Copies of this chain bind each other. A is one copy, B any other.
Amino acid sequence: MADANRRLRLGMVGGGEGAFIGAVHRIAARLDDHYELVAGAFSSDSARGNRSAQALHVAPDRSYADFEVMARAEAARDDGIDVVAIVTPNHLHVPIAEAFLNAGIHVICDKPLTTDLALAKDLGALVKKTGLFFGLTHNYTGYPLIRQAREMVQSGVLGQIRLTQMEYVQQWLTEDLENYDNKQAVWRTDPKQSGPAGCVGDIGTHVYNMMRFITQLEVDEISADLTVFVPGRRLDDNAHMMLRYKGGARGALWSSQVAPGNENGLSIRIYGTKGGIAWSQEHPTILRHSPLNAPPRILTPGGPELGQSALAASRIPAGHPEGYLEGFAQLYSDFAGLIRAHMAGDATAEESRLAPGIEDGIDGVRFISRAVESSTKNAAWVKFAD
């Protein structure tokens, strides 16, 4: 008899020794105790992969050098993985996801989904065909106050939305670190691994996704000016964009990795006819809400007047800050609930789903594509829809 309470069996592709985001996924998976990591293809270098497996308490016979082998082998086991987490560089996401979907295994995938819009859509069709769960780790939507923001917009507290000011700004590529063997810099500035966009794909897509999550506004057309500031760099390290939404709202988006003083400056401000809100990732426990003609109010996780979705995303009382890892873990916990619902044949869970999925992934790739297209046309307005 199945143990309804058991932890989900998790596999991972990528995330071996020295990787960054793989370790984050594992912490996120552990934090709320819904998963156990039991298999992995942690590296294409099998010795390195095996060392990682051992360090991660994964049995030697479930440490794979090849993700396709892994997909087939795990699918064949009685105690095979329920879900795989894909944490490789961006250009590998799609083929790996396809292998596991085709093997009947649910998928959690890092963002951006891929670097090519057609590939993204193909994957979308496959997800639909297989009926399997697909989760995308746009982790910043796991913050309680981002969910609060969404609730406030949906409930009409802000009135009709007029403006969205989006920023995701960092400093770490102000100098040409890619020429000094910084691995994170090397792959992020390499078109082969990152696709046609640099900071737009790496971080701009996060704040775009956050805006969509909160407001559900649809972009009508976009004007983007992508710039390379560091001599010799091959992908944009700065982007300014203007957005026109369907229905008349307007937006601006600034994404940069050459802005000294900004560690991880993801922020969003949204203004409507009845009020405004402002949130910054570096101080994620504050949501400033300014009702029209009344003093601004400071909302905090667990504090007074929080909505259900925000309360559900907090683990500890008000004043005890949760941060990046908890936000990431929230997605993993949401995913677990959705996967269990899938396994139980319960389709209703998907209806109230907050956690990002394949459509968000396709939308993000579309955003990147449109931004690049506009920029190559001297920032001309480009229609967003296909």
A: residues with CB less than 8 A from B are 5-7, 20, 23-24, 26-27, 30-33, 54-57, 162-163, 165, 170-172, 174-175, 223, 225, 227, 229, 238, 240, 242, 244, 248, 250-252, 254, 256, 258-265, 269, 271-278, 281-285, 288-300, 302-305, 315-326, 378-379, 381
Contacts and interface: CB of A to CB of B under 8 A. Distances in A.
Nearest to A158: B260
Contacts of A7: 57
A303 B295 contact: yes
Contacts of A170: 319
Number of copies of chain A assembled together: 4
Given A250-B225, A292-B171, A304-B293, A260 B238 contact: no
Contacts of A323: 285, 320-323, 326
Contacts of A298: 295-298
Contact of A260 (B223, B292, B302, B381): B292
A160 to B, nearest CB: 9
B325 A316 contact: yes
A180 to B, nearest CB: 13
Given A276-B262, A319-B264, A225 B238 contact: no
Contact of A276 (B24, B225, B260, B299): B260
A322 B324 contact: yes
A298 to B, nearest CB: 5
A24 B318 CA distance: 14
Contacts of A252: 240, 252, 254
Contacts of A289: 261, 295
A298 B298 CA distance: 8
Query: Considering the complex of A and B, which 3 residue pairs feature the smallest CB-CB distances, nearest first?
Result: A261-B290, A264-B319, A263-B319
A338 to B, nearest CB: 20
Contact of A261 (B229, B276, B322, B324): B276
A238 B162 contact: yes
A27 B333 CA distance: 13
Contacts of A303: 263, 295
A33 B33 contact: no
Nearest to A282: B319
A311 to B, nearest CB: 14
Contacts of A271: 256, 258-261
Given A171-B290, A291-B260, A292-B171, A282 B321 contact: yes
Contact of A55 (B5, B165, B227): B5
Nearest to A254: B252
Contacts of A30: 30-31, 33
